[in-house]
Amino acid sequence: MTHAPLVVLGGGPGGYAAAFLAADLGLQVTLVEADARLGGTCLLRGCIPSKALLHVAKILNEAKHLGEWGIDFTAPRINVDALRARKEKVISTLSGGLAGLAKRRNVRIISAKGSFLASNKLRLERTDTPGVVEELTFDHCILATGSRPAKIPAFEIGSPRVLDSTTALDLVDIPESLLVVGGGYIGLEMGTVYAELGSRVSVVELTTGLLPGADRDLVRPLHKRLEGIFSKIYLGTKVAGLRDTGSAIEVNFQDADGANERKETFSRVLVSIGRKPNSNDLGLENTKCRLDQRGFVVTNDRQRTDDPHILAIGDVAGEPMLAHKASHQGRVAVEGLHDGTAKFEPLAIPAVVFTDPEIAWAGLTEEQAKQQGRSVEIATYPWAASGRAQSLARTEGFTKMLIDPETDRILGVGIVGPGAGELISEGVLAIEMGCTARDIADSIHPHPTLSETMAFANESYFGTATEIYKPRVNKS
Ligand code: FAD
């Protein structure tokens, strides 16, 4: 049995960020990861491979639309093996980079599946040497085991034609038709990829709108564009069952209330109905850690669990399940251990849906303001009035600000349009810095850029946006 002052369990964006920072601060760090490669869900089967494929999807789409400018390309020839290999190269480059960074920092990596035997002891089942089991005691452990796709027993029919996000990203082939079950961001992103590669894609969503939880104003332009890319979008519709016919999947649809049963067949079905924290199978019952009803490990604002030896970060520690939240919590956990001061208290955690158009938001949403009975003023700027958006022929977007009418402080930002994911960072900074609408309106933004719409939206709050006509309200 060996002892480590600090063990990080899980080498995703939460775990490796925590391990690397801890090493930089002079701590002796051991990182335990079950996978042969570092990077976690995000790098190996999530953010990065999906964005690599979305990059290709975007170019295919843009090439198609150049016809409107008098430029016609012939239909693309897609070599799926080469595409898959290119995506794998992106992953292996980044994963190899992480291994190198760990080595330079003297972070000890153990390839093993870890589970708790006690509050300060792990059982390590080596994944690089099958059959070898070791024990490791520690002073502190940062739990960063992430999450996995949620499953519904009725869809577990053991068919290779039923995919989850991981197998969809494997890109084995381009099916003739694909049904995406679940209109959340992962389903819409993967649906976009397959649709642009040539599949006939349909989406089914149980609730009455795509991207449940996102601002309806932002979703509207996306929905409209997806209607042009996807074959069908079924809302308020339930998938009651799946059957492998031997050559396709027969899907049994029902209305959300169980009425109007009907059947349709698809070459493949992608089940994308959310994610579950990896908190089971970890021996947490041998510790003082507590789980909430959804299986997330409960922590305080310093990422401390109820067990004084164990901290938890990232997807396993609660919503939102996003990579940048995981890394930030990793930083908080380590800084807290180092000098006891750091807290996780963001005013804005940005969320980005990398569809086309992209949707991004940060801080307070209109829906949350309503729920909290909080009075906010909303200022929007339509991209149809932006020279940059016109030059890109993408005028469906807009920029929306939620502003405190008493103080003029920026409380929330929402953007829909190409590049929204890049633009949202200004909103995050504005919220975190306590900027007022005047601060953003008076900051000179470069022309012609989509970032100008942020300044113009704030100008419109004062009624002084010159590129649209919106009379002055009573604001100085
Ligand atoms: P993970 O990345 O899940 O890493 C956990 C690690 O722990 C894994 O490597 C796992 O092998 C390891 N592990 C688990 N159990 C054990 C054990 N017992 N012993 C040892 N090791 C263990 N987020 C974004 O912010 N932006 C995006 O664009 C985005 N796109 C996504 C697209 C897809 C298709 C998916 C599936 C997810 C996407 N996400 C995105 C979410 C993002 O991947 C996660 O929020 C993020 O990876 C969470 O980081 P983490 O460190 O908490 O956990």
464 confidence band (pLDDT: 50, 70, 90)? confident
Lining residues, ligand 1, CB within 6 Å: 9-15, 32-35, 40-42, 46-47, 50, 113-115, 144-147, 165, 186, 278, 282, 314-315, 321-324, 326, 354
* Residues 451 and 423: beta-carbon distance below 8 Å: yes
Give the pLDDT confidence score for residue 257 in this predicted structure.
85
Residue nearest to atom 3 of ligand 1 (CA): 146
Give the number of other CB atoms < 10 A from CB of residue 85: 10
* Residue 471 clears pLDDT 80, i.e. is over it: no
86 confidence band (pLDDT: 50, 70, 90)? very high
CA proximity to 352, closest of 449, 427, 459, 439: 427
**DSSP element (H, E) containing 39:** none
Ligand 1 midpoint to CA 46 (Å): 7
Give the pLDDT confidence score for residue 177 in this predicted structure.
98
475 confidence band (pLDDT: 50, 70, 90)? low
What is the share, in percent, of the chain residues with pLDDT greater than 70? Answer: 99
* Residue 251 clears pLDDT 80, i.e. is over it: yes
Q: In whole angstroms, give the CA distance from residue 104 to residue 10.
A: 19
Ligand 1 midpoint to CA 418 (Å): 26
Residue nearest to atom 32 of ligand 1 (CA): 46
**Is 254 strand, coil or helix?**
strand
Strand partners, 403: 377, 410
Give the number of other CB atoms < 10 A from CB of residue 319: 13
Residue in 136, 145, 194, 329 to alter for ligand 1 test, most ligand atoms within 8 A of Cβ? 145
Q: In whole angstroms, give the CA distance from residue 316 to residue 232.
A: 34
In the structure encoding, which two tokens stand for residue 316, read together?
A: 């396993």
For residue 448, is the peptide bond before it cis, meaning its omega torsion is within 30 degrees of 0?
yes
23-66 per-position pLDDT tens digit: 999 999 999 999 999 999 999 999 999 999 999 999 999 999 99
* Residue 461 clears pLDDT 90, i.e. is over it: yes
Ligand 1 midpoint to CA 328 (Å): 14
For every residue of 65-117, DSSP letters joined together read HGGGGT--PPPPP--HHHHHHHHHHHHHHHHHHHHHHHHHTTPEEEEEEEEEE
CA R_g for the chain? 24
Ligand 1 midpoint to CA 173 (Å): 24
- Amino acid identity, position 145: T
Residue in 42, 115, 272 to alter for ligand 1 test, most ligand atoms within 8 A of Cβ? 42
Sign, CA torsion 322/324/326/329: negative
* Residues 243 and 265: beta-carbon distance below 8 Å: no
325-369 per-position pLDDT tens digit: 999 999 999 999 998 889 999 999 999 999 999 999 999 999 999
For the packed helices 185-197 and 216-229, what is the interaxial angle rounded to 10 degrees?
20
Give the pLDDT confidence score for residue 467 in this predicted structure.
80
Give the number of other CB atoms < 10 A from CB of residue 59: 12
**Is 453 strand, coil or helix?**
helix
In the structure encoding, which two tokens stand for residue 275, read together?
A: 């994610």
Q: Which of 3, 140, 223, 447 is catalytic?
A: 447
* Residue 428 clears pLDDT 80, i.e. is over it: yes
* Residue 1 clears pLDDT 80, i.e. is over it: no
Q: In whole angstroms, give the CA distance from residue 39 to residue 35.
A: 9
* Residues 50 and 78: beta-carbon distance below 8 Å: no
Q: In whole angstroms, give the CA distance from residue 155 to residue 106.
A: 44
Annotated active-site residue 447? The verdict is yes
Angle formed at CA 53 by CA 52 and CA 59, multiple of 5 degrees: 100
User: Which residue pairs, CB below 8 angstroms and at least 24 apart, start in 243-246?
Assistant: 243/157, 244/157, 244/159, 244/161, 244/162
Please list the helix, strand and coil fractions of the chain in percent, rounded to the nearest 5, in that order.
35, 25, 40
* Residue 259 clears pLDDT 90, i.e. is over it: no
For residue 357, is the peptide bond before it cis, meaning its omega torsion is within 30 degrees of 0?
yes
Q: In whole angstroms, give the CA distance from residue 436 to residue 228.
A: 38
Give the pLDDT confidence score for residue 340 in this predicted structure.
81
